[in-house]
Amino acid sequence: KAGVTQTPRYLIKTRGQQVTLSCSPISGHRSVSWYQQTPGQGLQFLFEYFSETQRNKGNFPGRFSGRQFSNSRSEMNVSTLELGDSALYLCASSPVGDLGNTIYFGEGSWLTVV
Amino acid sequence: DAKTTQPNSMESNEEEPVHLPCNHSTISGTDYIHWYRQLPSQGPEYVIHGLTSNVNNRMASLAIAEDRKSSTLILHRATLRDAAVYYCILRRSGSARQLTFGSGTQLTVLP
C-alpha cells in the first residue's frame, strides 16, 4: 500500500510569489491534514480536510489556504510568500473512525523562500 | 487543551532498553495517548498509542499509569536507527485528527 505522497519535495520561491503543494493520501483515507514545521515553532497544525470540507483550522493567516478534491487528494496554497514561510510542510492522512486511528505522514515538502 | 511534558533530550546505549517519559496531568477521559517519532529529514512516524491499558507492538511498548497522568514509551533494545525526536501527543476529543506537537524528546543512541 502506497504511503502519503507529497510533491514537490523541494522548492525555492521568491518573496511575494505564491506556491501550491500537493498531497495524495493513502488509498481509502478521506481525512487529510497539513502541518508546518520550522526550527523556531516546531510542528504546527495548519488545517484538516474531510470530504472536500475544511473541518479544522490552525492559527495561521489567510495567506495559507487549502482544498481537497473528490478523490481525497489535497493541495495547500501559500500566497504572497514571506521569508518566514520557509519550512517543511507535512501532509498527513487518516481513515475515518475513532480517536485511536493512526495518522500517517508524508515525507514533506521543503519550501525555501528567498 | 490537554498538554504533555517531556524531557528535552535523553541518551541511551545501543542494545539497551530506553524508557521515554511523558506527563499529561490534564488528560481527559477520552484522550488517547499517541507516540510519534521523527527521524532527521523525514515526516513523523507513528509508533504506538493507547487509552488505558498497556500496549505492545513490534516497535515499542506503552506503559500508561493507572491515573493516566503519565505514560512511558519503552524501546526494548535501542538501535542507532532509533535516534529521533519522540513526541507524546494527546488526541483531543472534538479535534480528532488535529495533533498538537510539543517539543518532544531528542533521543541519542550511543554505539
Strand blocks (E) in chain B: 9-13, 18-23, 32-38, 45-50, 55-56, 61-64, 70-75, 84-91, 105-110
Q: What is the pLDDT of residue B95?
A: 52
Q: What is the pLDDT of residue B94?
A: 54
Residue A100 has pLDDT above 70, yes or no: no
**Span between the terminal Cα atoms of chain B, in Å:** 39
What is the rounded distance in angstroms from the CA atom of residue A30 to the CA atom of residue B83?
32
Distance from CA of B13 to the nearest CA of A (A): 27
Residue A104 has pLDDT above 80, yes or no: yes
Q: What is the pLDDT of residue B30?
A: 81
What is the rounded distance in angstroms from the CA atom of residue B91 to the CA atom of residue B111?
34
Averaged pLDDT score across all residues of chain B? 91
**Residue B33: its chain A contacts at CB < 8 A?**
none
Are A90 and B91 an interchain contact pair (Cβ–Cβ within 8 Å)? no
**CA-based nearest residue in chain A for residue B98:** A45
Q: What is the pLDDT of residue A40?
A: 86
Q: What is the pLDDT of residue A75?
A: 98
pLDDT band at A98 (very low <50, low <70, confident <90, very high): low
Residue B91 has pLDDT above 90, yes or no: no
Q: What is the pLDDT of residue B96?
A: 55
Residues in chain A whose Cβ is within 8 Å of chain B: 4, 31, 33, 35, 42-45, 48, 50, 55-56, 58, 90, 92, 94, 98-108
* E strand or H helix at A56: strand A53-57
Count the helix, strand and coil residues of chain B and give each as a percent rounded to the nearest 5: 5, 45, 50
pLDDT band at B99 (very low <50, low <70, confident <90, very high): confident
Residue A101 has pLDDT above 80, yes or no: no
Residue B23 has pLDDT above 90, yes or no: yes
Are B101 and A106 an interchain contact pair (Cβ–Cβ within 8 Å)? no
Are A48 and B31 an interchain contact pair (Cβ–Cβ within 8 Å)? no
Nearest-by-Cβ selection for A107 from B32, B43, B95 = B43
Residue A6 has pLDDT above 80, yes or no: yes
**Residue B44: its chain A contacts at CB < 8 A?**
43, 90, 92, 105
Point out the least confidently predicted range of A6-20, A30-44, B71-85, B96-110.
Answer: B96-110
Q: What is the pLDDT of residue B9?
A: 97
Cell output for B40: 532527521
